[in-house]
Amino acid sequence: MKEIRLLQGNEWEKAIRLSDMTFREIEQGSMGSAFPQVFSPSLHQSYGMFVEKELVAFMGLVRWLELCQMN
């Protein structure tokens, strides 16, 4: 079964690991540290695609205003 939904509970760590495997080399830091807003449970803006209850894709959204305030 395929499902797209907001991440919950311990799925945040899985999303960080998946993103690190996809976008980072071993010597680079974690995506979770580099982009904490993308992995923030409090924003309720991060979705995952699950196949047979396993996270296979992650979509982290951050509002533009929040990015501007970081700089």
CA 35, 41, 42, 47 dihedral sign is positive
Residue 66: both structure tokens together:
């929040």
Which pTM was predicted?
Answer: 0.79
Q: Which amino acid is at 21?
A: M
Q: Which residue has the tokens 């209850």?
A: 53
11-68 pLDDT tens trace: 999 999 999 999 999 889 999 998 888 888 888 889 999 999 999 999 988 776 655 6
